[in-house]
Structure 1
Amino acid sequence: MSEAPQINRLDSGDADFEARLTQLLDRAPEADLEVTASVAAIIAAVRARGDAALLEYTNRFDRRSVTAAAQLEVGPAQREAAWNSLPADLREALDTAAARIRVYAERQTLESWEFGDAFGNTLGQRVTPMDRVGIYVPGGKAAYPSSVLMNAIPAKVAGVGEIVMVVPAPGGELNPVVLGAAHLAGVDRLFTIGGAQAVAALAYGTAAVPPVDKIVGPGNAYVAAAKRLVFGRVGIDSIAGPSEIVVVCDGQTDPRWIAMDLFSQAEHDELAQSILISPDRDFLQRVAAAMGERMAELPRAEIVRASLAGRGALIAVRDLDEAIELSNRIAPEHLELSVAEPRLWLQKVRHAGAVFLGRHTPEAFGDYCAGPNHVLPTSRAARFSNPLGVYEFQKRSSLIECSPEGARQLAAIAGRLADAEGLQAHAASARDRS
């Protein structure tokens, strides 16, 4: 048995609970000033010097020795070869996951619509896909073929004209599973670049990398800062923070399962947050013991230990009602309702990126193959934001078509309102149609 990991212990009945909870949930400042300054300089350099700056930063940060921008692109033939090189069982798993993601995404498509009003006018909304999007796939501490599928497939379902993928290749190493996933998902172009320089290239374009209309996908602090700075030039999905999970449990689930569910997010990186909330204090102790038992199974144990010690927690509460209310305050990226009658408790959940219902639904299924997207709002953004989906890649245009009689009816209303705002050209333009 490994040594049990250190983890914060909180009890809602303690006098210092609110202060300790606030400290636990406190995030670092949204944009570290040094990181932002560095990223701004990188973006400016890529805008000014294009491929030359892109090569400079790629060679420096990814320990490469690329001499021409063309060497940064991985063509379709190489991606297909990577796919064919994968073991048959892995290809089958990726195929199945992709199919499930696609079926779910197809239910999200928005449709154009129109209706006629009482004045004989036609009003509506036209839905069209974006022309070109960029997907950022992390490639630093681990390889994420699942992120390729989760980002690219909804874009394909939406009808995006061209998908440009960027993924860092530290030391020049290309992960065949990531390349194979790009082939499977239908990525059009793939560049082995990462960090702020990749975001800048996608936003502004270089001779080698075409500019896109929107950038999606998670990354490190430098990627997040770059997305924040280029927003407005291009669209972005969100500013992703470290991974999060909250497990609400009634104490009846196998504690070994819950221990590994908490580990599943803690292993992402040292800043990830794993929280278990339960009214059963004895169960919390059994989960802590199970953590010690199962830690030896983890190749990334040191990352898990650092994550749990810094931001993880076992929280004792009065009852499940308080547990759900506390979860709503946290607004986690992932919420597991490991309880009897999870759908009953689901009615009380207001804020969560994704909800996993019941004892047999671990968050890991959502990361890979359940079907819903694993790109989710973090850092309490589930209060106002959504998972990545087909709708992120579709635009909506309003439609207005007036009949002669309808124009006369609207002219009087628009003219009067324009007069009230002191905008005489608006008023005259409207009354011309009367």
Structure 2
Amino acid sequence: MSTREAGFDEQLDSLLAWEEAQEEGVLDIVKQVIKDVRTRGDEALLEYTNRFDRRELSDASELVLGQEAIDAAAARVPAEQLRALEQAAERVRSYHQHQVSQSWSYTEADGTVLGQKVTPLDRVGLYVPGGKAAYPSSVIMAAIPAKVAGVPEVVMVSPTPDGEVNDIVLAAAKVAGVDKVICVGGAQAVAALAYGTETVAKVDKIVGPGNIYVATAKREVFGVVDIDMIAGPSEILVVCDGLTDPDWIAMDLFSQAEHDELAQAILVSPDAAFIDAVEKSIKALLPSLARAEVAAQSLRDRGALILTQSMDEAMTLVNRIAPEHLELSVDEPERYLDQIRHAGAIFMGRHSSESLGDYCAGPNHVLPTSGTARFSSPLGVYDYVKRSSLIYCSEQGASSLGKIASVLARSESLEAHARSAEYRIKQD
């Protein structure tokens, strides 16, 4: 594509358009599951787990994975993988410690004290896909900021189809400081976390990825509990000046395209010859990927190589697209930072591949997708705390503020508000 072409804006809008596919009947099924778990608790949780995960459990206590089982799973993980988990966790923890905010207050001249109290959530639930799916990095990214924030209890739910536990996911839970692991998944797990059962304690917030049933359930329980987000397909936007190795750029595009067929990978550059070189690299390297078919369909359906007239125009496209991952594969990338207003994570320079951010750079890899970087932020410590306002009026402060409040309350015809404030006005 080229920004010079007639109809480019319409082409780009069509490329970026994405709506979550809603399979017919999913919402009805999810609502029924939530209702069952809410009304019947553990009984419903066991029924759904035995049905969908092909289990034969007779007591809900069997859903809770003991520390001995978690330790045994971690012990089965190869030493190299366990060390990599620990190293990643150390870096993620170090980064997120910089996000910790403290309570604060200030005192006005008349003695009135105003401020803010920062308090961690009591309990959060972390949903982790189970079975053969292995996303230990997501466990680290979701659990560690919660523990850094001071959340006393992080509960991980993950299905175990046919009783199959995922060792590296459990090892990640141990490394990240997860407090409890419960072997339940699907909409029933989300419902249990939101409303609580005899075995699963109600949480304040649910985070983590899942299939369409999990995503729909999270949307349904929002308001009863908080959620992190309803994430769309993975995205990467690479801006390059034409001086990076084309093979590097091709592989960076693949790093998102291999996620699934709906993932989006876009290159933007003012250098036409470089775009041609990257296209040749894509064709040469694609067959070498284990997930070549998935990546090929992603690139065919939702990928693009876009020629711009300048780097400034490239920055305009960045803000229009508001990508989940943005790579600035240029010299002196800091020159462009002030122009970028919308991006989930910004990878600066030719050596900062998006994949490093996925696993071990330190910043969180749970990022806003589908253009929501226009108003959303990466998951972080601030998502696991709440803020309470502090108002401590001195006698003089209550008197002076009361006069203002009285006028405004009566303008709204709220007499009790006005009189409550007026009672505290000092009589001269």
Q: Which band: TM-score by shorter chain?
A: over 0.9
Is 2:407 the counterpart of 1:416?
A: yes
Which secondary structure does the structure 2 equivalent of 1:347 belong to?
helix
Q: Distance in 1 between matches of 2:285 and 2:160?
A: 32
User: Structure 1 residue 53: deviation in Å?
Assistant: 2.5
User: Are the aligned partners of 2:130 and 2:165 in contact in 1 as well (CA < 8 Å)?
Assistant: no
Report what 2:264 is aligned to.
273
User: Structure 1 residue 239: deviation in Å?
Assistant: 1.4
**Letter of the structure 2 residue corresponding to residue 119 of structure 1:** D
Deviates more, 1:155-164 or 1:136-145: 136-145
1:213 corresponds to which of 201, 204, 211: 204
Report what 2:129 is aligned to.
138
Report what 1:50 is aligned to.
41
**Letter of the structure 2 residue corresponding to residue 395 of structure 1:** K
Report what 2:315 is aligned to.
324
User: Are the aligned partners of 2:324 and 2:345 in contact in 1 as well (CA < 8 Å)?
Assistant: yes
Is 2:87 the counterpart of 1:77?
A: no
**Letter of the structure 2 residue corresponding to residue 17 of structure 1:** F
When normalised by structure 1's length, the TM-score is: 0.94
User: Are the aligned partners of 2:232 and 2:369 in contact in 1 as well (CA < 8 Å)?
Assistant: yes
Unaligned runs of 5+ in 1: 1-9
User: Are the aligned partners of 1:219 and 1:240 in contact in 2 as well (CA < 8 Å)?
Assistant: no
Greater RCO, 1 or 2 (C-alpha within 8 Å, sep 6+): 1
Unaligned runs of 5+ in 2: none
User: Structure 1 residue 148: deviation in Å?
Assistant: 0.6
User: Structure 1 residue 48: deviation in Å?
Assistant: 2.2
Report what 1:233 is aligned to.
224
Report what 1:296 is aligned to.
287
Report what 1:371 is aligned to.
362
Q: CA 1:258/1:65 → structure 2, altered by over 3 Å: closer, same or farther?
A: farther
Which secondary structure does the structure 1 equivalent of 2:236 belong to?
strand
Deviates more, 1:32-41 or 1:310-319: 32-41
Q: CA 1:268/1:18 → structure 2, altered by over 3 Å: closer, same or farther?
A: same
Which secondary structure does the structure 2 equivalent of 1:344 belong to?
helix
Identical aligned pairs, as a percentage?
60
Report what 1:264 is aligned to.
255
User: Structure 1 residue 22: deviation in Å?
Assistant: 1.2
Deviates more, 1:69-78 or 1:243-252: 69-78
Which secondary structure does the structure 1 equivalent of 2:328 belong to?
strand
Deviates more, 1:139-148 or 1:18-27: 139-148
User: Structure 1 residue 32: deviation in Å?
Assistant: 6.1
Which secondary structure does the structure 2 equivalent of 1:378 belong to?
coil
User: Are the aligned partners of 2:132 and 2:166 in contact in 1 as well (CA < 8 Å)?
Assistant: no
User: Structure 1 residue 302: deviation in Å?
Assistant: 1.8
**Letter of the structure 2 residue corresponding to residue 120 of structure 1:** G
Deviates more, 1:21-30 or 1:274-283: 21-30
1:77-226 superposed matches below 5 A: 77-139=68-130, 142-226=133-217
Is 2:3 the counterpart of 1:12?
A: yes
User: Are the aligned partners of 2:131 and 2:164 in contact in 1 as well (CA < 8 Å)?
Assistant: no
Deviates more, 1:352-361 or 1:10-19: 10-19
Deviates more, 1:420-429 or 1:301-310: 301-310
Deviates more, 1:46-55 or 1:129-138: 46-55
Q: Cα RMSD over matched residues?
A: 1.7
1:309 corresponds to which of 287, 295, 300: 300
Report what 1:4 is aligned to.
none
2:382 corresponds to which of 391, 394, 402: 391
Which secondary structure does the structure 2 equivalent of 1:11 belong to?
coil
Q: Distance in 1 between matches of 2:326 and 2:421?
A: 52
Report what 1:61 is aligned to.
52
Deviates more, 1:345-354 or 1:37-46: 37-46
User: Structure 1 residue 292: deviation in Å?
Assistant: 2.2
Is 2:338 the counterpart of 1:347?
A: yes
1:396-411 superposed matches below 5 A: 396-411=387-402
User: Structure 1 residue 418: deviation in Å?
Assistant: 0.8
Is 2:231 the counterpart of 1:243?
A: no
Which secondary structure does the structure 2 equivalent of 1:274 belong to?
strand
**Letter of the structure 1 residue corresponding to residue 247 of structure 2:** R
**Letter of the structure 2 residue corresponding to residue 96 of structure 1:** Q
2:373 corresponds to which of 372, 382, 386: 382
User: Structure 1 residue 49: deviation in Å?
Assistant: 2.3
User: Structure 1 residue 141: deviation in Å?
Assistant: 6.8
Which secondary structure does the structure 2 equivalent of 1:388 belong to?
coil
Which secondary structure does the structure 1 equivalent of 2:238 belong to?
strand
User: Are the aligned partners of 1:76 and 1:183 in contact in 2 as well (CA < 8 Å)?
Assistant: no
When normalised by structure 2's length, the TM-score is: 0.95
Which secondary structure does the structure 1 equivalent of 2:339 belong to?
coil
1:254 corresponds to which of 232, 240, 245: 245
Deviates more, 1:273-282 or 1:389-398: 273-282
The C-alpha deviation readout for 1:290-318, integer Å capped at 9, x for no partner, is 12222233222222122112211111221
User: Are the aligned partners of 2:131 and 2:166 in contact in 1 as well (CA < 8 Å)?
Assistant: no
The C-alpha deviation readout for 1:305-352, integer Å capped at 9, x for no partner, is 221122111112212111111111111110000112211112211100
Deviates more, 1:59-68 or 1:395-404: 59-68
Deviates more, 1:112-121 or 1:362-371: 112-121
User: Are the aligned partners of 2:368 and 2:378 in contact in 1 as well (CA < 8 Å)?
Assistant: yes
Q: CA 1:67/1:277 → structure 2, altered by over 3 Å: closer, same or farther?
A: farther
User: Are the aligned partners of 1:119 and 1:409 in contact in 2 as well (CA < 8 Å)?
Assistant: no
**Letter of the structure 1 residue corresponding to residue 46 of structure 2:** L
The C-alpha deviation readout for 1:148-198, integer Å capped at 9, x for no partner, is 110110100111011011123333321110001101111111112222221
The C-alpha deviation readout for 1:238-275, integer Å capped at 9, x for no partner, is 11111111111111111111111111111111111111
